[in-house]
Amino acid sequence: MDLNADLGEGFGRWSLGDDEALLSIVTSANVACGFHAGDPSTMHRICGAAVERSVAIGAQVGYRDLAGFGRRRIDYEPGELRDDILYQIGALEAFCRVAGGRVRYVKPHGALYNTAAVDEGQAGAVVAAVRAYDPGLPVLCQPGSVLARLAAGEGLRVVGEGFADRGYRADGTLMPRSLPGAVLHDPGAVVARAVRMAVDRVVETPDGEIVPSPVASICVHGDTPGAVELASQVRSGLAGAGLSVQHFS
């Protein structure tokens, strides 16, 4: 089972999360590419540190929305969104190459992630960008989503992702962060959810509904309070369940 986190989400003098500590725990790093967060120096630093620790680097592509941290839906013309995503992958690839690595997969961020899960236009733009750049790149996304379906239909490898620290709705989508229970903070609950997704391939909603969740990667958000300790406990929990914790490639 892969363990991933969103990293490099600072900008300039502002930082978010403990990237260095998380890079010692996770097996995949979703690196912000400068549109929702991140800047060239941060991308350079994170790529170098990830390569040193043999952590796989993924391009976390998002809306052009630094002020909103990419968490506000934006209606794009599909071609423009495709090109914005291509731009971000290419920017991160440059820093990967300097560090001696490469971009290993693509994952949408924030509102783009949630929109592409249900919207064919934006999901199609993500798929078009990945296919144009490198059809061998896996797409990390929610299983059963529109993005997963379109990516698979175009011959891309789809890697199902589950969230240890987020609440789910009965349709398998994530609860909006504004709702009570949308972000999980209790370490015991976070670890239990991660292990259940990995072993039983299901997730439970706040109402007690059991939703199929066939995942190969589990995310702990870098901006969740106590993220480093949560990620460490999730990794220990997965190992304790007899799972090998490694990148999905």
Which pLDDT tens digit goes with each residue over 100-130? Answer: 999 999 999 999 999 999 999 999 999 999 9
* d(C-alpha 129, C-alpha 21), whole Å: 31
Kindly tell me if the per-residue pLDDT of 3 is higher than 90: yes
Best-predicted range by mean pLDDT (6-20, 118-132, 168-182): 118-132
Average pLDDT on 73-98 reads 97
Kindly tell me if the per-residue pLDDT of 34 is higher than 90: yes
Q: Tell me what the pLDDT averaged over the chain comes to.
A: 95
Kindly tell me if the per-residue pLDDT of 12 is higher than 90: no
What are the backbone dihedrals phi and psi of residue 227, each rounded to the nearest 5 degrees, phi first?
Answer: -60, -40
Kindly tell me if the per-residue pLDDT of 140 is higher than 90: yes
* d(C-alpha 185, C-alpha 66), whole Å: 26
The predicted pLDDT at position 13 comes to: 78
* d(C-alpha 172, C-alpha 113), whole Å: 13
The predicted pLDDT at position 205 comes to: 92
Kindly tell me if the per-residue pLDDT of 177 is higher than 90: no
Nearest to 206 by CA among 156, 242, 246, 168: 168
Which CATH superfamily does the domain covering 2-240 fall into? Glycoside hydrolase/deacetylase (3.20.20.370)
Q: Are 66 and 11 in contact (CB under 8 A)?
A: yes
Q: Cα dist. 75→9, 11, 140 in Å? A: 23, 24, 22
Kindly tell me if the per-residue pLDDT of 141 is higher than 90: yes
Rg (CA), the chain: 16
Which pLDDT tens digit goes with each residue over 16-29? Answer: 878 999 999 999 99
Give kind and range of the element (H or E) at residue 218: strand 217-219
**Residue 214 is encoded by which pair of tokens?**
């066939």
* d(C-alpha 120, C-alpha 9), whole Å: 27
The predicted pLDDT at position 185 comes to: 83
Listed by start position, the domains of the chain span 2-240
Q: Is the pTM of this model over 0.85?
A: yes
Which pLDDT tens digit goes with each residue over 224-237? Answer: 778 999 999 999 99
What are the backbone dihedrals phi and psi of residue 62, each rounded to the nearest 5 degrees, phi first?
Answer: -145, -175
Percent of the chain with pLDDT over 70: 100
